[in-house]
Amino acid sequence: MQQLEDLLSPLHDGVWEVVVRKNEVQTPLSEHWVRSRLNIPSPGTIASYRHGQYHLHETATEFRVHLDRYDPREHPILHLADDAPLVLMVIDTFAALISDSRKTLPSYTATELSEQAKTWRLIVLTGIVMLLLGTWIITEPVITFGSLLALLVPAGFFLLSIPFFKNAIHLRPFGIQSAGRLVLGFGIVLLGINALFAEVLELQSFVLLVLAAWTLASAWFSLGRTLHGPKAVPEGFWLRLVVGILSAMLAFLILFLPEAAIELLMLILGAVVLAIGLSLLVEGIGLWMRMQRRRPSEV
């Protein structure tokens, strides 16, 4: 049986995505495919893998592979700017939430339904908490943004330092492989410690500057590619054009109207949290209703 890699040549000829059924290729995948934990949400995906520029989304029955323009390990900043624009992340997140909300509940047997008494309560409770949290984010955007920054910026620096330490130090036998990476790792840790004691306005300025650079770069790449016509944008000409325009508008908003940008970003975050909460609430109530309809004789 063929390896998945043998079927991916169309990606180099302008095809955006190759879809292969799992039963048509050899499984498990070869050791070249590495599990990818951080990805733009996509409907139906149960796991994601990377192999250089190849990006694979695994569904229940298929492998869906597309070709990123940049390998995230080799060019992480260019990958974020071109392959994973912030605006595209938002669009795909809402698309995935809408797709998941249309799915029907699993077909439980009567016995399985009888075992879900605690599950539906937990789902409903989680949904209510998410709805309250989403409402808070939307009604108090500035406070929420400041609280998130105080927590996430230091944590982000500490997490960012881990790969540098892993590549700098060899444990067995113990030794330093790269003094430069070790120094960089300690430097990033110091930035994280400094962020712990920084003022909220300083963190806000730093994060907004990063977001502005990200969105400006995404606008540059997206609009630049659309200038070469539809053939240069296999993932969709109009999608990339919209992403480029919205990225430029968001960058302008961040640079010249930062308070409005914060409110917009928190509105989007709140809407995502509300959508997740509503989806969980509907799922929990649906499960409860199915439990009520089961016949006692079937239990």
The pLDDT, as a whole number, for residue 97 is 80
The pLDDT, as a whole number, for residue 113 is 55
Instruction: Measure the CA dihedral 112/117/119/121, to 10°.
Output: 150
The pLDDT, as a whole number, for residue 243 is 95
The pLDDT, as a whole number, for residue 299 is 40
Predicted structure pTM score: 0.79
The pLDDT, as a whole number, for residue 99 is 75
Could you give the angle at which helices 141-168 and 179-196 cross, rounded to 10 degrees?
Answer: 160
The pLDDT, as a whole number, for residue 111 is 53
Q: CA end-to-end span of the chain, whole Å?
A: 45
Separation of alpha carbons 56 and 25, rounded Å = 14
- How do the domains of the chain map onto residue ranges? 4-67, 91-143+201-298
The pLDDT, as a whole number, for residue 137 is 95
The pLDDT, as a whole number, for residue 297 is 45
Mean pLDDT per segment of 10 residues, for the chain of length 299 residues? 85 89 84 83 84 90 91 86 91 81 58 64 92 95 92 90 80 74 87 89 92 96 92 89 96 95 94 92 83 57
E strand or H helix that includes residue 47: strand 47-51
Handedness of CA 125, 128, 132, 134 (dihedral sign): positive
Work out the angle at residue 268's Cα, subtended by the Cα atoms of residues 240 and 207, and round it to the nearest 5 degrees: 85
The pLDDT, as a whole number, for residue 112 is 55
State residue 144 phi and psi, 5-degree precision.
-60, -45
Longest dimension (CA), the chain: 71
Separation of alpha carbons 112 and 160, rounded Å = 43
